[in-house]
Structure 1
Amino acid sequence: MSTRDFRQVDVFTTEALLGNPLAVVHGADGLSDDRMRAIARWTNLSETSFLLAPTDPAADYRLRIFTPAAELPFAGHPTLGSAHAWLEADGVPAGERVVQQCGVGLVELRRAEGRLAFAAPPLTQAPVTDAEIATVARALRIAPDDVVEARRLVNGPHFVGVRLRDAAAVLALQPDWSAFEGLEVGVVGLHEPGGESALEVRVFGPDLGFTEDPVTGSFNAAAAQWLTGAGTLPPSYVAAQGTAIGRRGRIHVDTDADGTIWVGGDTRTTVHGTLSL
């Protein structure tokens, strides 16, 4: 039997049980791909991450990320939660910022206003076809005309980003889980100005092993690049996610003068123990 340090981190919240939980396995070198997949299926969270020694000398650690059904090259809440766990386990970055190595390459993290934030990775945008919009509309149980705009967004994960008329329309969705046809769909709607949050977000991925993700850093990074670039949202704002499923995720987006978008959130350890295999 082998043992490894294990943490479950609540991400994008200051309050226990109201963010997106992440399972983190420390010292995962030596675990096979099949073993990692089995652990991810067992935790049954939207993602489980594995901390390993880096193979790139510029990185502080290497990260592999699994859903219950697939490995991801990048994901936001595992990036923040894993950095939190690595630092809490006495990890010391070589430079001013934490540098994570993962499937999309190197991702930088910084701490600002007491919370971790990652630099949004490069984003590829493409038009969404009429057939894809029709599929998304069926899956969301809305009319195609309810879609204000849509974009294909790729930053490691592949999303279809959909904007509805407002936040209330996003919160009212009751999806048909059987109708997504392999698409991972992120839906956004603007809140009225002056509130705590500028944007309401929901992300659905039933074919990736989860139905609705509580809070999704990678999609929020993509949505920030898409919507701030289009002038729909200001350079800095707060988004809400998880509301419809009883969570209170808050995603803090900030844009530097050089155009770098930082996606941040609060993190806290809720479980710390030993994984025995």
Structure 2
Amino acid sequence: MALSYAIYDVFTDRQLEGNPLAVVFGADWLEDGAMQAIAQEFNLSETVFIRRPGGAAHTAKLRIFTPSQELPFAGHPTVGAAVAIAEAQHGAIEEGIDLVQVLEEKVGPVRCAVRLKAGQASFAEFDLPRKSVRLDARFDRQAIADALSLKLSQIGFENHVPSFWSAGAPFVMVPVHDVAAASSIEFDSLRWEQLTPMAEGRLAAAYVYCRGGVNHT
């Protein structure tokens, strides 16, 4: 059976910029392995599959895959899917339309507000389905430094130390000394897998941050 899909550039109003996303429509009959294989074929950071909702008041059910695994929730697939569904439903418009969707994701129902604009890029935003909570974990800072190819002295700043959080997708928050440290990271996935904790059935990813930024205003 043929499937229709679209490629969206999220977080931008210009083509070939922003964060690309593959959106696959009518994916109800696809099994997990097939969705994973399709996501691998697209080889984008995420591919979202649109399915019929389980709740009568909901708009659609989303399954979100990276090239290597399924995610219970992710921001740019939620935004892109909300816009894609609205544009598919309404087609070309002569006047702007504001609407609300509820998208079913593994983390829970996600309420989205969508604005379609005639002749302009559409807009969407969502309410967080869950607040982040801090989980118990202890970290070997040297092991974290080794996994990121950094010096021990580059891990942490002021009172910021590595910590473990989840709002459906678990992350180890890793503060690094400055932008130079962040830009010099060479990630060793095998070392990371040996040190990172597990929550909600998956190993935690690394979320690296620092003070300052590039073109920060």
Give me the TM-score of the superposition, normalised by structure 2: 0.77
**AA in 1 matched with 2:28:** D
The CA distance in 2 between the partners of 1:52 and 1:190, in whole Å, is 40
1:180 aligns with 2:177: no
Give, in angstroms, the shift of residue 136 of structure 1.
Answer: 2.2
Give, in angstroms, the shift of residue 98 of structure 1.
Answer: 1.8
Of the three residues 80, 105, 108, the one matched with 2:111 is 108
Of the three residues 172, 178, 187, the one matched with 1:166 is 178
The CA distance in 2 between the partners of 1:43 and 1:79, in whole Å, is 18
1:151 aligns with 2:163: yes
Residue range with higher mean Cα deviation, 12-21 or 66-75: 12-21
Identity across matched positions, percent: 35
Aligned length, in residue pairs: 192
The CA distance in 2 between the partners of 1:53 and 1:83, in whole Å, is 14
Question: In structure 2, the residue corresponding to 1:190 is in which secondary structure?
Answer: coil
| Counterpart for residue 64 of structure 2 | 65
The CA distance in 1 between the partners of 2:55 and 2:176, in whole Å, is 41
Of the three residues 85, 93, 102, the one matched with 1:99 is 102
The CA distance in 2 between the partners of 1:119 and 1:85, in whole Å, is 18
Contact 1:107/1:121 (<8 A) preserved: yes
**Pairing of 1:127-138 with structure 2 (within 5 A):** 127-131=136-140, 133-138=141-146
1:141 aligns with 2:149: yes
Give, in angstroms, the shift of residue 96 of structure 1.
Answer: 4.7
Bigger strand fraction: 1
Contact 1:161/1:185 (<8 A) preserved: yes
Q: For 1:133-176, what per-residue CA distance to the aligned partner results, in whole angstroms no more than 9, with x for missing partners? A: 33321111123332232221212211111122333432232333
Distance 1:59 1:162, change over 3 A: same
**AA in 2 matched with 1:14:** D
Contact 1:127/1:150 (<8 A) preserved: no
| Counterpart for residue 244 of structure 1 | none
**AA in 1 matched with 2:45:** S
Contact 1:128/1:150 (<8 A) preserved: no
Relative CO higher for 1 or 2, CA cutoff 8 Å, sep ≥ 6?
Answer: 1
Q: For 1:174-206, what per-residue CA distance to the aligned partner results, in whole angstroms no more than 9, with x for missing partners? A: 3334422154101112226xx8546xxxxxxxx
The CA distance in 2 between the partners of 1:35 and 1:46, in whole Å, is 17
Contact 2:99/2:114 (<8 A) preserved: no
Q: After the TM superposition, list the runs of 4 or more consecutive aligned residues in structure 1 that deviate by more than 6 angstroms.
A: none
Question: In structure 2, the residue corresponding to 1:8 is in which secondary structure?
Answer: strand
Question: In structure 1, the residue corresponding to 2:165 is in which secondary structure?
Answer: strand
C-alpha RMSD over aligned residues: 2.6
The CA distance in 1 between the partners of 2:101 and 2:144, in whole Å, is 37
1:5 aligns with 2:4: yes
**AA in 1 matched with 2:211:** L
Contact 2:83/2:123 (<8 A) preserved: no
Q: Which has the larger radius of gyration?
A: 2
Runs of 5+ unmatched residues, structure 1: 199-277
1:124 aligns with 2:127: no
Give, in angstroms, the shift of residue 18 of structure 1.
Answer: 3.0
